[in-house]
């Protein structure tokens, strides 16, 4: 199985956590940080909102951590208290002791966390790889997923561009450098919105991504977002929202939206103009409006 994913040194982890803490300090709402022990390691959880409201679970994209949700907290907490899970085996404050080497292990990990948090059933808001994880969870545990929102989903219904995958491998895995990784991360946003990545509240969040990509060593068996059969999701009756950028760097955005509409005929599928993979940075108002509408439904 090999080693569990981890930062290359204690100093690298401390550098990363400093940026994580900066992002938390900029949160528009008060946060509680906690740790949950699971069969796959210790999962770090951010909690926000009134605990008397029903729960909502959020799963982040690869390398970006739960801090990606902080600018959206006013929307996410309008009718819920939010549990934001740092995925074990990814660069964040969680510490992995085992590998999420298959979809069923992802399901087992989420079960462990939700059981510990006493979350029996909730909406799930997800992004990128987190959307892939949430999709598998919804298919295996439909009784626990009230509704599923996917922001910039990766894989699931269409493959990622081979050219993009090769670029990611070269710049992040084979010849990583801070400058190269920063250019790579910026390529996930539209050119005219890239300055936002260098200003608060996104600055420490995006710097986390860069530091994580440079110093965090993922086990090669950790999950990757690939195409999967979602017939069980369609049959489950779970309400689904998919928000896709038309100008996706990872995928053909229009084709992905078309396939979601074909395979999930009852889903709300929104194809957003002038939006890349970091759609929540490129078009934050659109994302917030779609989430507000989707989560307001009783």
User: Are residues 112 and 39 in contact, defined by beta-carbon separation less than 8 angstroms?
Assistant: yes
List domains and CATH numbers for the chain: 6-296 (3.40.50.1820)
Report residue 102 as tokens. 């298959």
Among candidate residues 262, 259, 286, the one with its CA nearest the CA of residue 272: 286
Q: What was the pLDDT predicted at 174? A: 62
List average pLDDT for each run of 10 residues in the chain, which is 298 residues long: 81 97 97 97 98 97 96 97 97 96 97 98 98 98 98 92 76 73 92 97 96 90 89 97 96 95 97 98 98 89
Q: What was the pLDDT predicted at 180? A: 84
User: Are residues 87 and 58 in contact, defined by beta-carbon separation less than 8 angstroms?
Assistant: no
Q: What was the pLDDT predicted at 2? A: 55
Q: What was the pLDDT predicted at 165? A: 76
Q: CB-side exposure of 136: number of CA atoms within 13 Å?
A: 25
Query: What is the Cα 204 distance to its own chain's centre?
Result: 17
Model-level pTM? Answer: 0.95
Q: CA–CA distance from 132 to each of 17, 83, 189, 272 (Å)?
A: 26, 18, 20, 20
Q: CA–CA distance from 203 to each of 24, 63, 71, 186, 264 (Å)?
A: 12, 15, 12, 12, 36
Q: 116 Cβ partners below 8 Å, 6+ apart?
A: 36, 37, 38
Among candidate residues 86, 76, 104, 63, the one with its CA nearest the CA of residue 205: 63
């Amino acid at each position: 199985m090999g080693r569990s994913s981890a930062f290359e040194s204690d100093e690298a982890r401390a550098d990363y956590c400093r940026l994580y803490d900066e992002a938390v300090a900029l949160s528009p709402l008060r946060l509680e940080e906690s740790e949950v022990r699971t069969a796959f390691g210790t999962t770090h959880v951010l909690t926000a909102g009134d605990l008397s409201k029903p729960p909502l679970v959020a799963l982040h994209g690869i390398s970006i951590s739960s801090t990606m949700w902080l600018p959206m907290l006013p929307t996410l907490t309008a009718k819920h208290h939010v549990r934001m899970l740092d995925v074990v085996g990814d660069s964040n404050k969680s510490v992995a002791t085992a590998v999420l080497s298959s979809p069923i292990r992802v399901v087992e990990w989420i079960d462990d966390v939700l059981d510990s948090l006493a979350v029996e059933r909730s909406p799930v808001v997800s992004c990128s790889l987190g959307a892939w994880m949430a999709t598998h969870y919804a298919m295996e545990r439909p009784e626990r997923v009230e509704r599923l929102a996917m922001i910039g989903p990766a894989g699931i219904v269409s493959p990622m561009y081979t050219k993009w995958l090769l670029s990611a491998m070269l710049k992040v895995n084979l010849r990583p450098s801070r400058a190269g990784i920063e250019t790579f991360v910026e390529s996930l946003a539209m050119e005219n919105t890239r300055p936002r990545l260098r200003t608060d509240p996104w600055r420490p969040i995006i710097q986390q991504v860069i530091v994580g990509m440079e110093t965090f060593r993922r086990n090669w068996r950790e999950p990757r977002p690939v195409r999967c059969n979602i017939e069980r999701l369609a049959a489950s009756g779970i309400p689904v929202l998919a928000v896709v950028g038309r100008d996706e760097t990872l995928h053909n955005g229009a084709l992905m939206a078309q396939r979601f509409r074909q395979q999930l005929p009852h889903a709300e599928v929104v194809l957003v103009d002038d939006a890349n993979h970091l759609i929540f940075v490129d078009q934050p108002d659109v994302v917030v409006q779609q989430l507000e509408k989707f989560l307001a439904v009783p």
